[in-house]
Every structure is written in C-alpha cells, then in structure tokens.
Amino acid sequence: MATATFAVSPSLSLNHHLSLVPIQRGVSLNSGIGVPTRFSSNGFTSRIRATSAVAVEPELRTPAQDVTGAELFACPICYEPLIRKGPSGFNVPAIYRSGFKCRKCSKSYSSKNIYLDLTVTSGTKEYNESKPTGTELFRSPVVSFLYERGWRQSFNRGGFPGPDEEFNMAQEYFQVAEGGVLVDVSCGSGLFSRKFSKSGVYSRVIALDFSENMLRQCYDFIKTDESILSSNLALVRADVSRLPFFSGSVDAVHAGAALHCWPSPSNAIAEINRILRSGGVFVGTTFLRVNPSAPPILRALQQSATRTYSFFTQEEIEDLVTTCGLVNYTSKVQGGFIMFSAQKR
C-alpha cells in the first residue's frame, strides 16, 4: 500500500469500513469431518461445514529439497528463478541489502524501500497503474497508520473474535505445515505475519501485500523487536493475482480479512492453489454478506459498500474455493465473521 493519490479522512474511512460489518444470529454446528473445535469456548460459537473430503498426502521433503531465499522467489512475469546477489539469510536486513534479477528475462527487482518489490510494474519510471478503489484505499499512509490503531479492532463488531483468537484458530489448521514456508497474503501492517514469525513454527514467513505503505508500517513495527527483525521474516510487495513463487513451493497461505478486498477473488485463489504444495493449507477470514433477514438499515449500509468491496455468502465462498481446485473445505462462523480453510489436492 503505497503513497496515496487522494486524501483520506480517517474518520470517514473507518466509519465506511465499519458499515460493511454484517451481524447474523443463530449459528449452528454441523460437521462432515473431524475439525478441531476448541475455539467454541470463550463465547465463540462456530458453524462448521466440511465438503470435498479428500485424503491428501503431503509432499515429503528432504533437507536437499528445502528452498532458500533465492530459490523461493520467482519472477512475476515469467515465473523463472531469481538470481540473488548480497548477504545470505532470510530476514529483512539481509534481503534489503540484496539484489534480485530474473534468470530468464533479466528484469531486476529492488528492495530499496525496505520491502522486496516483486510486482510486474516494479521499476517503471513513467507508467502508473491504478487499482480498484478498495485496493487504492489501503495504499493510503493514513489507513496504513490506523489499521492497528483502531481500524482492525473495530472488526469485533462483526463477529471477529480478535487477533489472538484468530491466530490460534489458524494455527490449528496449519499444523500440517509446521516447519514449512508460510505466505501471509494481503498482510496489511503485518499483524499476523509477526505472530507467525514469532511462533517459531515455520522455516520462513513472507509478509506480502500490494500496499507499499502497509509494508512500511509493518517494518516500523518489527524494527523495534530484534527477535523478529533478525528472524525468518521477509517483506514482499506483490499482487495476490500474480504471486512471485514457484508452483508447489509453499506449505501454507494465510489471508486475514482480505477476500472482500480482492479485485478478483477467483484469480487470487487460483494463484494460491498454484503455489501450494500438495497437502498445503489455505486459511482465510472475511466478512459475510448480510443475511436477507437482517435489519433493513444494515442491509442498506452493506449494499452501499459493495461499490468498493465484494461480500459473499457461506455457500458462495465454498463454491469459489472448491471451484478453484482446493479440497477438504471447512469453515467456522460467528455472526458476520467466517474463517474458512481448504487444502491443495
């Protein structure tokens, strides 16, 4: 999320986002396969759906197959390997001091802005590409600054249980990915990226976002914590619809409160499927579309917000995820909050 091209009113932006929050009542429990449900405590009533139950054998990796920083990143144009020049190590300081160049097309990628820019338009001098309003909003320095200073906390009104509980829920799904590579797409200011990194569970964590300013805000948070700064965390700017990784190279993908912001959710989830290893896990959270029986004022508020964001029903999310080739879909619902998960076949 980069330098804003328009003025943003903090209060208006926050209130606008709050108006998107749907509230639903009367959740039920229904499970087709065994799914951990210890989060039903502490007031978290979950609804669980499980479909496309498929036995998936995760790829076995030997130490020789483990990816390094240079081998993990791919050119977003041709998906060929990047040649890395600079100090070794997979952490923010080492990657910042490194240069990357595509082995095939020779395009160079810079990390001069703290993050490694692996967008297709990286390095352009005259051309400027604008994204939909929902994407551009989060490139604002004002929104990036406010995200963990009130904006994200307001999600509780829509049923979000809070970052700590959401992290624990995601970790339950990611148990099969322990020791592997985790990509936190649309990471924002790195709220969950930092938690994943500090957990020590993953060999590498990539905090990935399209917003330059969100990544800068993420760096502002981690530079005060030496344990994260020198750990296995990398900051990468990339488009979720053009992920700069080899096919089948990632063990886990997390997308917190992101689906409704993506210009093309189908393209994004297809890309997530592409980069996941067999047996790899995708976990996402988002706001659900307001139920038709919800109060008229709430339906009107969310309808006005659909000009900027896309909201879906539980059934639509399941259909989207499975249509993009993922299996073993499950979900947990609380009010207008849904956490869903699926695996690469």
In whole angstroms, what is the distance from residue 106 CA to residue 126 CA?
20
What does the mean pLDDT of the chain come to? 82
| Secondary structure class of 335 (helix, strand, coil) | coil
Residue 5 belongs to some domain of the structure: no
More confident residue, 91 or 64: 91
pLDDT for the residue numbered 14 = 34
Closest CA to 342 of 244, 243, 270: 270
Residue 8 belongs to some domain of the structure: no
In whole angstroms, what is the distance from residue 12 CA to residue 15 CA?
5
In whole angstroms, what is the distance from residue 136 CA to residue 268 CA?
17
In whole angstroms, what is the distance from residue 236 CA to residue 259 CA?
19
Residue 15 belongs to some domain of the structure: no
* Residue 220 structure tokens: 């502002």
Residue 18 belongs to some domain of the structure: no
pLDDT digits (tens, 9 = 90+) for 148-175: 999 899 899 888 999 999 999 999 999 9
Q: How confident is the model at residue 177 (pLDDT cuts 50, 70, 90)?
A: very high
How many domains does the chain contain in total?
Answer: 1
pLDDT for the residue numbered 304 = 56
> Domain range for residue 90?
23-344
The end-to-end CA distance of the chain, in Å, is: 32
pTM, full prediction: 0.80
37-51, 121-135, 287-301, range with the lowest pLDDT: 37-51
pLDDT for the residue numbered 30 = 37
Residue 7 belongs to some domain of the structure: no
Residue 183 belongs to some domain of the structure: yes
pLDDT for the residue numbered 43 = 52
196 within 8 A of 205, measured Cβ to Cβ: yes
Task: Indicate the residue type of 87.
Answer: P
Residue 272, pLDDT > 90, answer yes
> Domain with 63 in it: what CATH number?
3.40.50.150
Alpha carbon dihedral 231, 237, 239, 244, in 10-degree steps, equals: -60
More confident residue, 61 or 327: 327
Q: Which residues contact 9 (CB under 8 A, 6 or more apart)?
A: none
Residue 134, pLDDT > 60, answer yes
Q: How confident is the model at residue 261 (pLDDT cuts 50, 70, 90)?
A: very high
Residue 13 belongs to some domain of the structure: no
Residue 156 belongs to some domain of the structure: yes
